[in-house]
Amino acid sequence: MAILLTGGTGKTSTHLAKLLQDANIPFLLTSRKGQAGAPSGMEAVKFDWDDASTYEAPFQHKFPNGETIKAVYLIGPQSHNASPLMISFVGIAIKHGVKRVVMLTGSETERNGGIHSGSVWQHLEDSGVEYCVLRATWFMENLTQWQHLGSIKNEGKIYSACGDGKVPFVSVADIAAVAFYALTVEKLPSTDYRVLGPELLTHDQLAEKLSKGLGRKIENVKLTKEESAERWSEVNHAPEPLAQFMAKLESLTADKREERTNSVVEKVTGRPPMTFDAFVQENKSVWG
C-alpha cells in the first residue's frame, strides 16, 4: 500500500512525509512543480488544484515495488471555493482504488455545514470510503512561516482580529503525528478528531511568551475584521476572497469559537502535544 500526500510541500505534509519515510511506508507527494518541488530523497508528481487534468497523474505513478495508492492525505487549496474541486478529486481517487481518506480542515468544520470543507466531509461519508477528518485549530507555525513571521521579526508585532479570544494553538508536528496514525492504523472507523494544543492562549499571551523567549518586546496589535482583511490583502498578498475568509476566521476566534481543549493528541500518539513555550525555544533563530 502507498499513501498520497496532497499539499505535498505544505506544513503538515512535509512532517508527515518524514514520518512515513522513517517507517518505510511508500508515499508520493503532490506539487505544482512536480519532482522539482519535492524535498530531497522524496518523490513527487505534478498536481494543481486549478488544473483538473492533473488529478489522474498521482495514480499513474510507478512505485518501485508495484505498490498502488490506497490512502490519501487530503488538503484542499487556499480558496473560498475549494470544496467542489476536492469532491471531484475524491471521486477520481476512489475510482482508482483508494480505500481511505484523511482530510485536514479547520476546527469549526461540521459535516455538510459550517465553514471550511463540510460538504467534502459529507461526500466522504456518502461515498463509503474509510475516512478521518482532522479538525485542527490555529497552527503555531503561522508565527514562523506565514502571516506573522515578517511582522514579528522586523517590527516586533503580531497583527490579528482575534481580539481576546483564546486558542489551543497546535504544532504541525502534532497534527502530522495524528494524521500518520489515521493513515496507517489497520482498521479506521470513519470518524473525526479535533486536533488541539495543550493550553488556551490569547494573542496578548502569545506576545508575552514571545517577548520572554526572544528577550525583546513583542506587541499584539488588535485589528478589526475589516482592518485584518485589508492587511491580508495588502501585506500578505492574499486574493480578496481568501483575505475576507481569513479575517472571518479571526473574528470567529474573537467570538471565542476556538476556546476548547481535549486530549486527542496524547490519546492517539501516546505523548502530550507541544507547548508554545517549547515551540518558541525550538524556533528562536527564525525570528532573529
Assign 200 a pLDDT band (cuts: 50, 70, 90). Answer: very high
Q: Name, in order, each residue with C-beta under 8 angstroms of 242's C-beta and a sequence gap of 6 or more.
A: 78, 79, 80, 232
Q: What is the mean pLDDT of residues 63-80?
A: 92
| Cα–Cα nearest to 58, from 7, 6, 124, 132 | 6
pLDDT of residue 179: 98
Assign 53 a pLDDT band (cuts: 50, 70, 90). Answer: very high
Q: Max alpha carbon distance in the chain (Å)?
A: 55
Least confident range of 48-52, 111-115, 223-227, 274-278: 111-115
Q: What is the mean pLDDT of residues 111-134?
A: 89
> What's the first-to-final CA gap in the chain, in angstroms?
43
State the average pLDDT for the chain. Answer: 94
Q: Which fold has domain 2-136?
A: Rossmann fold (3.40.50)
Q: What is the reported pTM?
A: 0.94
pLDDT surpassing 70 at residue 115: no
Where are the domains positioned within the chain?
2-136, 137-171+196-260+274-288
What SS3 state is found at 233? Answer: helix
Assign 189 a pLDDT band (cuts: 50, 70, 90). Answer: confident
| Cα–Cα nearest to 220, from 159, 151, 163 | 159
Domain 137-171+196-260+274-288 has CATH 2.60.260.20: no
Per the DSSP assignment, residues forming a β-bridge with 135 are: 105, 194
* 2-136 and 137-171+196-260+274-288 share one fold: no
Summarised one tens digit per residue, pLDDT across range 130-171 is 999 999 999 999 999 878 999 999 999 999 999 999 999 999
